[in-house]
Structure 1
Amino acid sequence: MIAEQPKTNTAASKAMAKPLKRGRACMTCRILKIKCDGVRPICGPCRKNPKEEECEFSDGPTRSRTKVLEETVSRLEARLQELEHPDETTPSVTLHDPYSPYHDSRQLSKHPSTLLMPDSRLFTPLSPFSPTSATSSLPSGRQWTSFGLEAKSDSVTSSGSSSSPHGHHASSPFLGEEEPSFGIIQNLVDNFLPHASEFGFFLNTNRFRHATLLPLPFGHHSRPSRSLLSAVYLWGAHLSQSELLLAQEHTLMIRALQHTATDIMGPHPDAVLHTLQAEVLLAYYLFQTGRFLEAKTHAATAVSLALAAGFHKIRTSNLHPQPMIGLSSETPISLHPPHDNIEEGERINGFWTVLMLHKYLTIALEPPTSVCGTLEAPGTQIDTPWPLDITNYSEGLLHPDVRGSNTIRNFLVNIPEQGYQGQSVLAMNAKAAILFHRSAQLSGQWTPNLQPREFQSFAAVFQSLNRLIETLRHSLTPLAQLDVKNPYTRTIVLTHALTDAATIKLHSIFSYSDSSSKQHCLTSARNMLAFAGFNIQDVGYLNPIIGTLWMTACHVFIDEISRLRSMHTAWPPNTEGSEDELMERLRSGMAVLNTLSDESSLGKYQLTKIQEAFSAI
């Protein structure tokens, strides 16, 4: 019996009989030119001949793989046509070689006779991947470029150090060959060292220079650490008058920042001391160039490192555990005992340099109500004896029996010091910085609504600080007796300015209501900007905080001129206290600040602030 054939669905049959619209057939059937039923996800022909992948349809929600490949082939064929017939087509993309400067520098290094600039041979090759940025710039507005020279990765020394400027070549995995030629190193170091103390350099300059110029690789243990050398090279370029060196300043800054961040965990025997010195130099550099937040960051790092290393407890008379910086591979990092008096003196001076840096930046960059003393916070006792001038340590002026305890507290409560302690130029500078900081801190605590007991406490501290400031002032060498060629003159000028600024900070809160305080402020401001009659430009570079001190003096004159105008007080022309005399003093102060504005972004910023304050009265 023959089975009855099922009836065919008429509608379905008619639909299948119709030809498929273009795009409904799968890509395989289209390529093979066979009839496709369009069933998804797998059509009939593909189901009869199974394959690993599902059918691809050109009208799907996304482009099929075949379509993408077709478009890629078309695009490459068009590009090939452009390259083969550049005159017949308009290219859509212009290709360039991003390493052409690198290749050019290699050719130039092979053929020095083709160099257009004779000084360009002064730099040793560096990696083309040096961490420089074409978009970054320092506040001074200079145009920065990288060294842009090659690295030789096949000549790394066994210790991992990179090349020196003395014929050895090696590379760092991050920075390539980082040192300029020997002659340029001499130039950079000699640019910096005459002014080094003004930017926080506390090491023995003779020893440093000798070690720097040794014919040994960069990072060798007998030379200063990478971070310290990089920071000194940075300052040397910044202080130079050479456009060639100034053009490398940004590159040198990047390298100094990178080495300073990593050297503390390195194998250099003086890693702690040299990293501390590098942090101080970078903080001053960033402050000078107007990068205030970064300056504060590096100053804070220097403070933390000095405390962790126990530099505040050198020669302490109290029981103090051996300091440890941290752990590296479960091995504690600690300082070795100083080898001689000079090395111990470097650590003592290093601590006081960090303390002064911290106080300078706190006053310059913090509002009066936020001025605080991290290094003198409760529980942080400073026992390190007062610093000596670095040459005094080799002369044996730091007696072996000298011990310290509560050095700053004893000074503030006026306990007499023994012998030469506290009488050096650097000690006087540190004391002036402490008094300046304390005066700013106290003035920030003043409010007219103090309770009687609070007012009595405030008045007692006020009178004590005022006596200390006056005592220090009378113990300083008068400016009129200074020789501008003496290297200590700059520090003494700064100490006088700090002392005058401390008086202004202390008395300014009462200058509107108390005539005595007003006269203290005016006298100190006049002294600060008079310089005992000699030309301040003859002294040379001063610590960057000097601009903040001069701003303080200028504000005194601006405030007094404003007060006279508001009271309509008439003074005889050109007499002390008249508006003419005050205006002349103010112009003198602004002229001094103008000299700083030519040297740094910080100076430009300070001059602008004074001009804004003057225009507002």
Structure 2
Amino acid sequence: MQSTSSQSRESSPPSRPLARGQACMPCRWRKIRCDGVRPSCGQCTGSQETRECRYGDANTSHASNLQKTVTQLQARLRLLEQGESTTVQSTVLLHDPYSDNSPSYTTPPSQSRSASVDTNSDWPSPDICAILTDTFFQHVQCLPWFLHEGRHRQALTLPDNNPGRPIAALDAAVLLWGSILSSNTSPNFPAVHSETLLDYASSQVGLVNASGQQAIQIIQARLLLAIHFLDTCRVLEGRAHLAAATSLAFRLRLHKIRSSPSSSSLPNATFLDPMTIPLLPDPQDAVEEGERIRAFWTVFCFSRTHAVMFGQYSLVLDSESEERRIDTPWPLNMNLYDQDQMPQDLQSTGTLCRFFHGIRSGWPWENDMLSYLSKASALFERTARFDAVQQRDPTATDPTTSLTEFASLDQRTDELEAQLAPLTAGPAQGLHLAQSLVLTGRIQLHSSFAEQSPISRAKCLGAARAIWNVSVATRVETFVFLDPVIGWIWAAACRVLMSEVALLRAQPARSALPGTTTEAELVQTLDGILALMSALVTASSSMNFHLSRVEQERVVLC
């Protein structure tokens, strides 16, 4: 009995507050009252965190700990200013200032990839990195990649401290996607810690100076990170990377490549000295210029399509004003830049405006897949904007102006669809995405008039069925990756089909249209799209999101 009461008195909290410096380290760090019980106080025992309860020197004050941290940070800054060594021993690591022990984890130094492998067991080995890089480039056509593959591979062979080597964020982003694509194509491939690669790429992409060729690599890295975050439904992070890539592309004036002499930057105000990003130096050769041209149009496609998906305005505007006008010529295939096929004296003005006005440039390279995707993305966004105005307030614009814009967009859509129809060569993923964007643009253009106009209703239904037919024809189920916007497009096609089925049931007399299919055929197409979406949900969180939304709406139809 006496022993039990003695143990109770020993573990019970003191009746008065502890003296300064007597609390355990976790309680001091969290700024909460500590009962001083050892070996573990009441706060740490009841906490769900895994932090160990430990007691330090009572004579060490909070100010002393802070001073210790400041000293470590100053040493780290001096090391960065002098240039980091490639040896791990010279690296100053930051850790918990209240810990008396060595750091419980390490992170790869920001500049040395060899050190990354040595200091982090989760980092892939050099052999695995080589396999992941090969896998990435085997399937690169399904991703927003615009750099020259040969030059990028050659740069990877340079030493870590060589300025010509790709930036760390881009290197990690390529490995990240290599691991994702490997898991999709080779289930027995050794497990790779993708989160380590993702965290490293995300942390490094903002640490590089946006100047010279490294600025183009920043855009590339951010696009790869953006599409990963959007596909995994981490929308805020994905949109942040996309917005940063888009903003940087415009700040570098990639929309003004080969612009006519009249297009110049705005002069600085007399009394103001705005902070600006240094402009890119002149490209060293045709390939470097081609990378910049393809960088802009890749950003353009990504920004336009995903702005529609999230119901937002795109940061890439096709304004008629000189400063915002897109003058960069349509992109060539990278092989043509390699062969220096772009005329040296070519100048371009209003590339996108001329397209919407139906003016063909006559350039022989307009059949490049990125060029088709750029035009399809432009129509996709413009028809969505037109539909939004009609849904919000049709009387807000002049009827004649609206009719003229409608007719122009409808004609551009028909023309681009006709150009895409006979294509069989080239990346199947790009062709499928371009055709799907054009068909969805037709749905957006005619959806506001479908209830009143049998022609618009028939065009919406025809486009929805064509989206399914294109997916079947290109064998989309064999693709290793689908752009997240495809799930949104398939969901839109499903809604058109469900709307038509509901109309057939409610008003059979009104539903007679030339070429209209039966309800059973519509349901069969609908079920086919839903089955395709179901087969892809395991590899895409965004596809799973769109499928769940459509299935909820399908319940009402049944």
Query: Could you tell me which residue of structure 2 aligns to residue 110 of structure 1?
Result: none
Separation in 2 of the partners of 1:128 and 1:594? 49
Query: Could you tell me which residue of structure 2 aligns to residue 503 of structure 1?
Result: 442
Offset at residue 162 of structure 1 (A): 1.6
Tell me, yes or no, if the aligned pair for 1:388 and 1:424 is still in contact at 8 Å: yes
CA offsets per residue over residues 466-509 of structure 1, 9 Å max, x none? 00110111112436xx26xx5x2221121111111111111111
Report which of the two structures shows the higher radius of gyration computed on alpha carbons: 1
Offset at residue 416 of structure 1 (A): 2.3
Equivalent position to 2:414, from 455, 460, 470: 470
CA offsets per residue over residues 105-138 of structure 1, 9 Å max, x none? xxxxxxxxxxxxxxxxxxx99999899xxxxxxx
Tell me, yes or no, if the aligned pair for 1:490 and 1:540 is still in contact at 8 Å: no
Separation in 2 of the partners of 1:93 and 1:373? 49
Offset at residue 221 of structure 1 (A): 1.6
Tell me, yes or no, if the aligned pair for 1:594 and 1:607 is still in contact at 8 Å: yes
Q: 1:343 and 2:343 equivalent?
A: no
* Worse overlay, 347-356 or 490-499: 490-499
Q: 1:561 and 2:501 equivalent?
A: yes
Note closer, same or farther for the CA distance 1:374–1:535 as it changes in structure 2 (3 Å cut). Answer: closer
Query: Could you tell me which residue of structure 1 aligns to residue 428 of structure 2?
Result: 489
- For normalisation by structure 1, the TM-score amounts to 0.68
Offset at residue 514 of structure 1 (A): 1.2
Separation in 1 of the partners of 2:288 and 2:125? 29
Tell me, yes or no, if the aligned pair for 1:428 and 1:495 is still in contact at 8 Å: yes
Separation in 2 of the partners of 1:408 and 1:525? 27
Corresponding letter in the other structure for 2:439:
D
Query: Could you tell me which residue of structure 1 aligns to residue 81 of structure 2?
Result: none
Offset at residue 290 of structure 1 (A): 0.8
Compare relative contact order (CA 8 Å, sep 6+) and give the higher one, 1 or 2.
2
Q: 1:190 and 2:134 equivalent?
A: yes
Q: 1:220 and 2:220 equivalent?
A: no
Q: 1:419 and 2:358 equivalent?
A: no
Query: Could you tell me which residue of structure 1 aligns to residue 301 of structure 2?
Result: 356
Q: 1:530 and 2:477 equivalent?
A: no
Query: Could you tell me which residue of structure 1 aligns to residue 180 of structure 2?
Result: 238
Q: 1:519 and 2:458 equivalent?
A: yes
Offset at residue 210 of structure 1 (A): 2.5
Equivalent position to 1:277, from 210, 215, 220: 220
Corresponding letter in the other structure for 1:546:
I
Q: 1:445 and 2:386 equivalent?
A: no
Q: 1:205 and 2:149 equivalent?
A: yes
Offset at residue 453 of structure 1 (A): 6.7
CA offsets per residue over residues 293-327 of structure 1, 9 Å max, x none? 22111111111100011100001013455799xxx
CA offsets per residue over residues 135-177 of structure 1, 9 Å max, x none? xxxxxxxxxxxxx98679xxx8xxx832428xx9777xxxx79
CA RMSD of aligned residues (A): 3.9
Q: 1:292 and 2:239 equivalent?
A: no
Corresponding letter in the other structure for 2:258:
R
Tell me, yes or no, if the aligned pair for 1:170 and 1:177 is still in contact at 8 Å: yes
Offset at residue 419 of structure 1 (A): 2.7
Tell me, yes or no, if the aligned pair for 1:308 and 1:323 is still in contact at 8 Å: no
Corresponding letter in the other structure for 1:305:
L
Corresponding letter in the other structure for 2:287:
I
CA offsets per residue over residues 534-553 of structure 1, 9 Å max, x none? 53223443333222222221
Note closer, same or farther for the CA distance 1:506–1:360 as it changes in structure 2 (3 Å cut). Answer: same
Corresponding letter in the other structure for 1:182:
P
Separation in 2 of the partners of 1:608 and 1:505? 22
Tell me, yes or no, if the aligned pair for 1:192 and 1:239 is still in contact at 8 Å: yes
Separation in 1 of the partners of 2:320 and 2:421? 34
Corresponding letter in the other structure for 2:369:
V
Query: Could you tell me which residue of structure 2 aligns to residue 597 of structure 1?
Result: 537
Note closer, same or farther for the CA distance 1:500–1:423 as it changes in structure 2 (3 Å cut). Answer: same
Query: Could you tell me which residue of structure 2 aligns to residue 140 of structure 1?
Result: none
Note closer, same or farther for the CA distance 1:197–1:129 as it changes in structure 2 (3 Å cut). Answer: farther
* Worse overlay, 224-233 or 417-426: 417-426
Unaligned runs of 5+ in 2: 1-14, 24-33, 53-86, 96-103, 268-274
Separation in 2 of the partners of 1:605 and 1:378? 37
Find the residue that maps to 1:316 and give its secondary structure.
coil
Separation in 2 of the partners of 1:429 and 1:224? 27
Tell me, yes or no, if the aligned pair for 1:164 and 1:179 is still in contact at 8 Å: no
Separation in 2 of the partners of 1:199 and 1:449? 37
Corresponding letter in the other structure for 2:435:
H
Separation in 1 of the partners of 2:345 and 2:403? 39
Separation in 1 of the partners of 2:503 and 2:308? 25
Name the count of aligned residue pairs: 471
Find the residue that maps to 2:550 and give its secondary structure.
helix
Separation in 2 of the partners of 1:552 and 1:515? 19
Query: Could you tell me which residue of structure 2 aligns to residue 161 of structure 1?
Result: 111
Offset at residue 349 of structure 1 (A): 0.4
Offset at residue 197 of structure 1 (A): 3.2
Offset at residue 192 of structure 1 (A): 1.6
* Worse overlay, 390-399 or 563-572: 563-572
Unaligned runs of 5+ in 1: 1-60, 70-74, 83-91, 99-123, 132-147, 325-329
Find the residue that maps to 1:253 and give its secondary structure.
helix
Query: Could you tell me which residue of structure 1 aligns to residue 69 of structure 2?
Result: none
CA offsets per residue over residues 209-241 of structure 1, 9 Å max, x none? 2322x1522x63222111111111121122222
Find the residue that maps to 1:605 and give its secondary structure.
helix
Note closer, same or farther for the CA distance 1:302–1:169 as it changes in structure 2 (3 Å cut). Answer: closer
* Worse overlay, 453-462 or 466-475: 453-462
Query: Could you tell me which residue of structure 1 aligns to residue 59 of structure 2?
Result: none
Tell me, yes or no, if the aligned pair for 2:243 and 2:315 is still in contact at 8 Å: no
Separation in 1 of the partners of 2:522 and 2:441? 21
Offset at residue 400 of structure 1 (A): 1.1
- For normalisation by structure 2, the TM-score amounts to 0.75
Q: 1:384 and 2:334 equivalent?
A: no
Offset at residue 184 of structure 1 (A): 1.2
* Worse overlay, 499-508 or 230-239: 230-239
Note closer, same or farther for the CA distance 1:78–1:430 as it changes in structure 2 (3 Å cut). Answer: closer
Q: 1:542 and 2:482 equivalent?
A: yes
Tell me, yes or no, if the aligned pair for 2:117 and 2:125 is still in contact at 8 Å: no
Separation in 2 of the partners of 1:285 and 1:130? 29
Tell me, yes or no, if the aligned pair for 1:286 and 1:294 is still in contact at 8 Å: yes
Tell me, yes or no, if the aligned pair for 1:550 and 1:589 is still in contact at 8 Å: yes
Corresponding letter in the other structure for 1:357:
F
Find the residue that maps to 2:398 and give its secondary structure.
helix
Identity across matched positions, percent: 26
Query: Could you tell me which residue of structure 1 aligns to residue 197 of structure 2?
Result: 252
Offset at residue 398 of structure 1 (A): 1.5
Corresponding letter in the other structure for 1:313:
K
Note closer, same or farther for the CA distance 1:189–1:449 as it changes in structure 2 (3 Å cut). Answer: closer
* Worse overlay, 307-316 or 417-426: 417-426
Query: Could you tell me which residue of structure 1 aligns to residue 377 of structure 2?
Result: 433
Tell me, yes or no, if the aligned pair for 1:352 and 1:387 is still in contact at 8 Å: yes
